[in-house]
Amino acid sequence: MTCTTPTAVKEHASVAAWYREDAVLSTTDHISGPTLLVDEGWKLIVRSVRVEDSRAQYSCSVLDTLTGERKRSSPISIDVSPMSSSSAPRPLWPGVWEASARRGGDAILPCLVHSNPPPTIT
């Protein structure tokens, strides 16, 4: 999830807090609990999403450092589809992927698949 602000404000704004329901998730801690990761303040990553995560609502508040004004976003929730039956691995985003790298550099290629039970990728 990404906390966004208008471009004109972003230069002097920062994410003051992330919330799960009404509980504050610290943006200074890179890990908040076993599944939440705050990335550079502006992004909240929920790892290893479970069906229970769809019951929670997440929001962020942004602090305008020029005015001292703090605004909280509208809450959003994660849509988690339970996997009720076994399924073979299938790509999440079919199509052609491209990666670029400088000579001698690393190219990172995603392996995005979905199956039940979860796949083991080696």
CATH of the domain at 52: 2.60.40
- Max CA distance (Å), the chain: 54
**Dihedral sign computed on CA atoms, order 8, 14, 20, 23:** negative
Residue 100 lies in a domain: yes
**How many domains, the chain?**
1
Domain boundaries, position 106: 7-116
Task: Tell me if 55 is assigned to some domain.
Answer: yes
Q: Tokens standing for 29?
A: 């801690």
* The pair of three-digit structure tokens given for residue 43, joined into one six-digit string: 């992004």
Q: Please give the Cα distance from 14 to 28 (Å, whole number).
A: 12
In a domain, 22, yes or no: yes
pTM score over 0.75: no
In a domain, 51, yes or no: yes
Residue count of the chain, please give it: 122
In a domain, 122, yes or no: no
Q: Judge whether 121 lies within some domain.
A: no
User: What is the predicted pLDDT for the residue at 26?
Assistant: 61
Task: Give yes or no for residue 45 having a pLDDT over 70.
Answer: yes
